[in-house]
Amino acid sequence: MKKTRQEHVIGIVAACVATLGISAANAQERFITVASTTSTEQSGLFGHLLPIFKRDTGIDVRVVALGTGQALDTGRRGDADVVFVHDKVAEEKFVAEGFGVERIEVMYNDFVLVGPKADPAKANGRDISLGLKRLADSKAAFVSRGDKSGTHAAELRYWKAAGVDLDATKGAWYRETGSGMGSALNTASAMNAYILTDRGTWLSFKNRGELAIQVEGDAKLFNQYGVMLVNPVKHPHVKRDLGQRFIDWLVSVAGQKAIADYKIGGEQLFFPNAKPPMKKAA
Amino acid sequence: MNSLTDAFVGALQLILNADATLLSIIGLSLQVSVSAVALASVLGLVLGSLIAVSRFPGRSLVIAILNATMGLPPVVIGLLVYMLLSRAGPLGSYGLLFTPTAMVIAQVILISPIIAALSRQTIEDAWRDYREQLASLGVRGVSAARTLLWDSRFSLVTITLAGLGRACAEVGAVMIVGGNIDGVTRVMTTAIALETTKGDLPLAMSLGIVLVLIVLAINILAQSLKSFAERRYG
Amino acid sequence: MVESPKMIANLLPVTVRDVSVIANQKTILRDINLEIACGTRTVILGANGAGKSTLLRVLHGLVKPSSGVATSVRGAPLGDVQLRAHDAMLFQRPVMLRTSAFNNVLYATQHLSPTKRNGDGEPQAVWEALRAVGLEGIADRPARVLSGGEQQRIAFARALVRRPEVLYLDEPTASLDPRSARQIEDCIQCAASSGVTIVMSTHHLALAKRVAESIIFLHEGRITEATPAQVFFLQPQSTEGREFLYGEAI
């Protein structure tokens, strides 16, 4: 009876040691934490890039996939070494506040307006402003991320460019879900509603239901990604060297090629556009 | 209905293929939850038995609070632990955010009140029955507490299993403090959430079925051990 | 089973002086004075709620008097934990630990003061105690699956194994069938004949007649009568005692 109790205690202690063991072992590995967006993670881009980066440098990259706003906040608190997002205005603010060292453009993808195949709002075409105008006029159901993500910020810019005053017109047809891209797409699919999404998430999204692309190819729909090292002056524990190597690699010839190589169903998702001269891979 | 059938077929395939990624996710889930339950059991049993056998002013208020904390929303606990462990938070210097340890901490906070509240009730009931007999035998304090805990062990195992079930099924807290990092902090529930947001509902459901089966297997094992021991020890 | 009669002869009587017990503003015992000589057999009688159980608990040290003093066979105040080793109590409903009958008895030896402990001889003492209650054959069975009568005898063995000088019994046969009650009575007689002081409460008058040397009669928390048993059963000295016996006769 006593012996069994001791065994219990030993078991508990062993379990605790095992748990602490995981993090201790991890601490010795070379890794950085990258706060990024659901679009890059869920489209599978990181799953493609990171093994190549690891092979080239031996560095592990841990991606926490959030909305752009949350990802920038994670960087602000110092909980990530690198932030890799897509909202130029918010990124420049992040750097101006001193939280990011420098904003470096890496690649772009594009947004698409997705809607019911029947297209009740007659939004189909190449002009996003015109498409959104028709949506607002017909009050066709539209799902918004409503989560201060890069996609949400872009969506609000497009409404503005289309001359639609959302505050005045939005009603029951305009649904703010406050959720990530995938969850919002699930909602749109269930409601058979229009939604703005990045192409990568759309291509890897499986629960499409009756939805199809209605507007694509407008130059305004291009979506620029930027990467920033979290400022080691603000957060001294930031892994400056490892983080910088990741950034350098992304804009290097090797990194840019790896981005261009990623395809789903033969379709390229992200288009590298780092400014020349491209830095050599670290 | 079709996609539900797909989900069951998918679950079966997942189990039969024993995919390495899936196994590591299951392994991490169990490691995190079992560690959390082990720690929470120690904390919860100590707290529960202390409250059960002691009398002090405001005791019923403490019990009411304890019972209420069983219903703490995991997301709130996740946020709390996030703010504590964030580099900008009081414990930031340990760099524990987005690690399995952070997930264990969050789950310990989630489960300890459950184990404490339920064991408080169990031990208090046992204490009512045993108090005079133990006092008559000159058994007091720590010895008495040990006897009570040991004699209530079967009920306490059930309580611990309830804690384990809650830990394994929880997603809100571990998502926030773990970050659902592939290969590092991705567990069954966060993987299910991820597949859901990717729109792969059958795969999400298959993972869910696998999770339920694992929890079920643990419970069946514990239940049969319990009934075996009960036959043996009464 | 017990220490030699010579040692017992040296022991003082259990004495109670002006003891009252008040719980929740209700007086349960008031102005109790009594003396119980060592080696005697005393039965406490009285109606339900008269305070019999509380008096036994005061004597055993489980209930602290609100006022007054009680001293044990060792001359120290009752309720002193060090003295708990010198007496034992059998409750109406035995509490069995979730383990074997043997371990239930062994448990009682593991919490004795070092001077009373027998070291390696403990298992031997446990076997002796089980033999004394006639249950050595079921030592390995889980205590909780035994019958009520068997459980009470295990509880008796658990009391005996502590080698008590005084044995308190609170309605030990109340929930037992006649045969089991008889077996418990045999155990009581056996313990008494080896010199253990017996103090028992019961509603079982035939049992009381067979066991008691003296009777303490309680009514509403007071002792109305403390007489030799023959006197009480032939001619109760108090009205309450007469009514109690008369009620029994009907």
Note whether A24 and A75 are same-domain residues: yes
Write the pLDDT tens digit of every residue in C111-165. 776 565 556 667 888 999 999 999 989 999 999 999 999 999 999 999 999 888 8
Tell me the chain A residues in contact with residue B164 when contact means C-beta distances shorter than 8 Å: none
Which comes out higher in pLDDT, residue C156 or A43?
C156
Peptide bond connecting A277 to the previous residue in cis, omega within 30 degrees of 0: yes
**Residue in the structure block whose two tokens are 């340890």:** B101
Q: Which of B17-21, B35-39, B71-75, C216-220 is the least confident region?
A: B17-21
Looking at the complex, report in whole angstroms how far the Cα of residue A102 sits from the nearest Cα belonging to chain B: 21
Segment C27-45 shows an average pLDDT of: 92
Write the pLDDT tens digit of every residue in C71-119. 776 666 665 555 566 789 999 999 999 999 999 999 998 877 656 555 6
Note whether A160 and A210 are same-domain residues: yes
pLDDT of residue B53: 82
Kindly list the structural domains of chain C, giving each domain's residue range(s) and its CATH number in brackets, ordered by start: 14-91+165-246 (3.40.50.300)
Strands (E), A67-190: 82-85, 104-116, 142-144, 174-176
In this structure, how many other beta carbons lie within 10 angstroms of the beta carbon of residue C143?
26
**β-pair type (A104-116, A194-198):** antiparallel
Tell me the chain B residues in contact with residue A186 when contact means C-beta distances shorter than 8 Å: 196-197, 199, 201
Beta bridge partners of A107: A225, A272
Q: Which of A64-68, B91-95, C84-88 is the least confident region?
A: C84-88
Surface of C (114-153) touching B: CB under 8 A: 142-145
pLDDT of residue A108: 94
Nearest to B143 among C99, C111, C142 (CB): C111
Banded pLDDT at C170 (limits 50, 70, 90): very high
- Please check whether residue C155 is in contact with residue C188, taking contact to mean a CB–CB distance below 8 angstroms: no
Query: C90-128 in b/e burial notation, b at 16+ Cβ within 10 A?
Result: bbbebbbbbbbbbbbbbbbbebbeeeeeeeeebeebbbb
Note whether A39 and A128 are same-domain residues: no
Rg (alpha carbons) of chain A, rounded to whole number: 22
Tell me the chain B residues in contact with residue A97 when contact means C-beta distances shorter than 8 Å: none
Note whether A196 and A118 are same-domain residues: yes
Note whether A18 and A78 are same-domain residues: yes
pLDDT of residue B109: 95
Q: What percent of chain A has pLDDT over 70?
A: 87
**Interface contact flag, B100 A185, Cβ < 8 Å:** no
- Please check whether residue A54 is in contact with residue A209, taking contact to mean a CB–CB distance below 8 angstroms: no
Query: Is residue A126, in this structure, part of any structural domain at all?
Result: yes
C125 torsion bin: left (phi>0), alpha (psi -120 to 50), beta (else): alpha
- Looking at every residue in chain B, the average pLDDT score rounds to 90
- Please check whether residue A155 is in contact with residue A129, taking contact to mean a CB–CB distance below 8 angstroms: no
Looking at the complex, report in whole angstroms how far the Cα of residue C33 sits from the nearest Cα belonging to chain B: 23
Strands (E), C112-178: 166-170
pLDDT of residue C249: 47
Note whether A263 and A244 are same-domain residues: yes
Nearest to C98 among B136, B139, B234 (CB): B234
Note whether A100 and A114 are same-domain residues: no
In this structure, how many other beta carbons lie within 10 angstroms of the beta carbon of residue B31?
19
Does the pLDDT at position B20 exceed 90? no
Chains sharing 3 or more CB pairs under 8 A with chain A? B
Tell me the chain A residues in contact with residue B115 when contact means C-beta distances shorter than 8 Å: none
pLDDT of residue A3: 43
Segment C67-74 shows an average pLDDT of: 76
Does the pLDDT at position B222 exceed 90? no
Note whether A188 and A100 are same-domain residues: no
Note whether A114 and A193 are same-domain residues: yes
Q: What is the reported pTM?
A: 0.81
Structural domain total, chain A:
2
**β-pair type (A194-198, A142-144):** parallel
CB-count exposure of residue A273 (10 Å: 0-12, 13-18, 19+): middle
**Interface contact flag, A185 B182, Cβ < 8 Å:** no
Q: Write the single-letter amino acid at B59.
A: R
Banded pLDDT at A6 (limits 50, 70, 90): low
pLDDT of residue B17: 84
CATH number at residue A250: 3.40.190.10
**Interface contact flag, C111 B234, Cβ < 8 Å:** no
Segments making up each domain of chain B, as ranges: 20-233
Which comes out higher in pLDDT, residue C78 or C193?
C193
Looking at the complex, report in whole angstroms how far the Cα of residue A163 sits from the nearest Cα belonging to chain B: 31
Write the pLDDT tens digit of every residue in C196-249. 999 999 998 999 999 999 999 999 999 999 999 999 999 888 888 888 887 754
- Please check whether residue B157 is in contact with residue B149, taking contact to mean a CB–CB distance below 8 angstroms: no
SS3 A171: coil
Highest-pLDDT range among A174-183, B67-76, B105-114: B105-114
Distance of CA C208 to the CA centre of its chain: 13
Interface contacts A/B by beta carbons within 8 Å: 99
Q: Which CATH superfamily is domain B20-233 in?
A: MetI-like (1.10.3720.10)
Where in the sequence is the domain holding A136, given as residue range(s)?
Answer: 110-221
